[in-house]
Structure 1
Amino acid sequence: MDDIESITFFGIFVSIVFSFLVSMADSFLKGLDKNQVIEVAEAGGNKYEILYTLLSQPQKYHVALALLKWLSIVSAFALSFPLLISLPKIVPPIVIVLVFVLLVELVPRNYSYPINTNALIKLLYILRPVCWLLFPIILPMTYLSRFLVRFLGGKNITIDSIVSPELLETFVSVGNRQGDFDVEEHEMISRILGLPDKVVREIMIPRTDIVHLEAKSGIDEILRVAIQSRHSRIPVYLDRVDHSHNIIGILHVKELLDCWSRGKTVDLEQLVSSRPPYFTPESRKIWDLFQDLQSNRLHLAIIVDEYGGTAGLVTLEDIIEEIVGEIQDEYDTEEQVECLQISSDIYSVDARMNIDDFNVFFNSNLEVVSVDTIGGVMIDHFGRVPEKGASFQIDRLKLSVLEADNRRIYRVTVDQKISNGTNLTKLNEEFYD
């Protein structure tokens, strides 16, 4: 065997080994363990940045690895071609094909192996400059592959299909610790990530708090309700508001004032006939409702329960507040503020405050399946609507009824100074068994 054949065999060997390593790397990235990703993300620093680049643009790395693998395969076959002259005609191609099938396809697909964080980071650091060098090829190949996938009716790999909300929350927390986000931005992103899991029932205005008008109301009554409520849209009903079939439309106060200012007779039933209510079940996801309201250019939805009764009402503002936080306008009074600080350790809380929001605000761990609000927690504990001043302790918090009547609780005081070692889990089992 002369020097040229030795160099040729060495080139083929290098191509096969390189193809094997590239295939193993590609298989690893496709089956990336979420727990390993979180481990790297929580480490922060440059590791966090390079990993997020991979997860936000996964196709770029897969295209780079595919190009490297096939360049190696083509190189091996090109180098083996001259050997056809000196060896039996059928031996070199078959041998090389079998070796490539074994090392480039079968072994990477079937070989499961653990990889530590450092190995993952080293692999990503190697791939990044390769992606830069191959960028003129990767970019058109990426767009062409996406087009062909869509053309064939498939779905492209996106960050949504790889990264879970929990992993995104980890990235946001790391970014917050590193100063990439301020507190408000961190809270807003966290609310957005939690929005797809929330249902309408958690944020709706309950039926007892809905401002509404009876269809046969006179102009004086209509104007009084509109001025006192300061709402721009008001549901209109026939006979009773508790059944959704009785709600016949939504009054736009702007249209009412336009009609009244022109001296026309105000027929409320006729005025709302062109504004039918939009109904949605209380179990619907908030994000789905938000998209529907946007596409239908609506600002308000009537929430119905499983029996067809009116459960409540949700506005676009309610959904937006789930993202940006409470929006206070010039008409909001202190009584309408959800959580008002009275002293350093005592807060006045709206009884309609959602339990999840309460837990976040007070760093508590209150969980009740049967109710959604802090007022519901107190009613569930006492077994009735408690009178003003009734209280109980849970963990380090003392909850007391601040405002109530014989039908419902309006506001609750929360005292954070109480700390008597009460076990939260034990109390939950006693209260909500």
Structure 2
Amino acid sequence: MAAAILTATLLLAAAMFFAALFRAYTHTGRAQADRLAEQYPAIRRKVEFWAPRWEELCASLQLLMVTSRLLFILSTALLLLRTGVSLPILLGAVVALILLSLFLLELVPDALAIAFSDRISARTLPLISLLAVFIRPVAWPLARAARVLRHAVSSGAEEEDRPTHEEAILSMVGPDQDSDLEAEEKKIIRSALEFGDTVAREIMTPRVDVIGLEDSTRISEAVPIIRRTGRSRYPVFHEDLDDILGVVHVKDLLVLLGESKGSSPVISAVKPVPFVPESMPISDLLQLLRSQQVQLAVVVDEYGGTSGVVTIEDILEELVGEIHDEYDVREAAVRHLPDGSVVISARTPVSEANTIAAVHIPEGEDYDSVGGYIFSVLGRIPRAGETVDGEDFTLTVQAADQRQIHLVRITPKHPVASAAT
């Protein structure tokens, strides 16, 4: 009898365990699985292997959950039979077990999964990946069948003809649509819809413009740099920007300066900083920064070198436009000249430049900005005054140095009427 009770208790614990894991893995989902590799480097390889097969993991957990639940109910029913209870009492006990399982195996795991889904997935992935290997011959067909069923249900002709929510909203905020929305409101809505397609590389401050402090720099020596540049946070590096150790906040340095610790190195006030790939969607990046309660992340390339830095402000500006405070030096982003040409920053995205100047600069996968387009055409860093001709435009480098282009003049070959400012 004692062994039977122990068996039923262990099966109940197993059912709760696998139910919580199933909810957690489902809540994390395939879309968020890649983020686990960034937050938990120790399981990076396992995440990279299982991320494309996430449905198989969920199917494996669901199989384990259902099996352990059925075994729990069966073992408890057999335990009651051994006690010699009557059939009505046995049926009532089974109903009570079902209600109990609804609470212990549904509500409790759901609450745990929603609160700690990423942590649960990361901590248990080594164990679950091992179990999944053994039950894969059964779980894989189940996952495949579920995928086929979903596709069959969602691929009806009526669904194909029905516009999605995104398509419906885009039709309302299109440039040719009449609606009660202001132009700025339409722009924000379109930015929100395109938010998930934007990656860190597109909004980061590039490496050449990153101002950092070397780890051996004294706090008193950093003060002139802070006064000259006016930033609130500075990456701290060892020897060069490819070896960033963390970030320091100006207010922390001022506290140490006020405590007569100006001779201390800035590394004494450094705080951890997350590293993210260039291809990370900014929606995931925003969630990462919020979860770690930091304002800045270092963007790295495929070789681990520093590509730039990105802040929460950069992400918000992608949604609502430029945000200026009282300390920002505001420069005209666009200058319209009387001859119909336009002077813009070389960092202006090609699509935005085409809209501003009413031209058709080709877009490409290897570049995002007007300056990047010029680099791709010339294959080198141009000098001020050099030009690039296109089908309906001429690009003139207005300002450049040995490392980058700063300003570009776009001259349409068939100028349109423009309100010069």
CA distance 1:374–1:211, shift in 2 (3 Å):
same
What residue in structure 2 maps to residue 430 of structure 1? Answer: none
Per-residue deviation, residues 67-90 of structure 1 (Å, max 9, x unmatched): xxxxxxxxxxxxxxxxxxxxxxxx
Deviation at 1:342, TM superposition (A): 4.4
Question: How do residues 245-394 of structure 1 correspond to structure 2 at under 5 angstroms?
Answer: 246-265=243-262, 266-272=264-270, 275-333=271-329, 337-343=332-338, 345-365=340-360, 366-394=362-390
Cα distance in 2 between the residues matched to 1:328 and 1:342? 25
What residue in structure 1 maps to residue 137 of structure 2? Answer: none
When Rg is computed on C-alpha atoms for both structures, the one with the higher figure is 1
Asked whether the 8 Å contact 1:395–1:419 carries over to 2, the reply is no
Amino acid at match of 1:259: L
| Alignment length (residue pairs) | 260
Deviation at 1:171, TM superposition (A): 2.7
- Secondary structure of the residue that 2:240 maps to in structure 1? coil
> What TM-score comes out, normalization by structure 1 length?
0.55
CA RMSD of aligned residues (A): 3.0
- Secondary structure of the residue that 1:367 maps to in structure 2? coil
CA distance 1:341–1:321, shift in 2 (3 Å):
farther
What residue in structure 1 maps to residue 33 of structure 2? Answer: none
Deviation at 1:350, TM superposition (A): 1.3
What residue in structure 1 maps to residue 129 of structure 2? Answer: none
CA distance 1:389–1:280, shift in 2 (3 Å):
same
Question: How do residues 1-12 of structure 1 correspond to structure 2 at under 5 angstroms?
Answer: none
Asked whether the 8 Å contact 1:334–1:340 carries over to 2, the reply is no
Asked whether the 8 Å contact 2:341–2:409 carries over to 1, the reply is yes
- Secondary structure of the residue that 1:407 maps to in structure 2? coil
Cα distance in 2 between the residues matched to 1:309 and 1:375? 22
What residue in structure 1 maps to residue 399 of structure 2? Answer: 403
> What TM-score comes out, normalization by structure 2 length?
0.56
Amino acid at match of 1:361: I
- Secondary structure of the residue that 1:222 maps to in structure 2? helix
Deviation at 1:231, TM superposition (A): 0.9
What residue in structure 2 maps to residue 166 of structure 1? Answer: 167
Unaligned runs of 5+ in 2: 1-106, 115-145, 155-161, 416-421
Deviation at 1:172, TM superposition (A): 2.9
Q: What percent identity do the matched residue pairs reach?
A: 34
Asked whether the 8 Å contact 1:338–1:353 carries over to 2, the reply is no
CA distance 1:231–1:260, shift in 2 (3 Å):
same
What residue in structure 2 maps to residue 219 of structure 1? Answer: 219
Question: How do residues 419-430 of structure 1 correspond to structure 2 at under 5 angstroms?
Answer: 419=414
Amino acid at match of 2:305: G
Per-residue deviation, residues 46-95 of structure 1 (Å, max 9, x unmatched): xxxxxxxxxxxxxxxxxxxxxxxxxxxxxxxxxxxxxxxxxxxxxxxxxx
Asked whether the 8 Å contact 2:341–2:357 carries over to 1, the reply is no
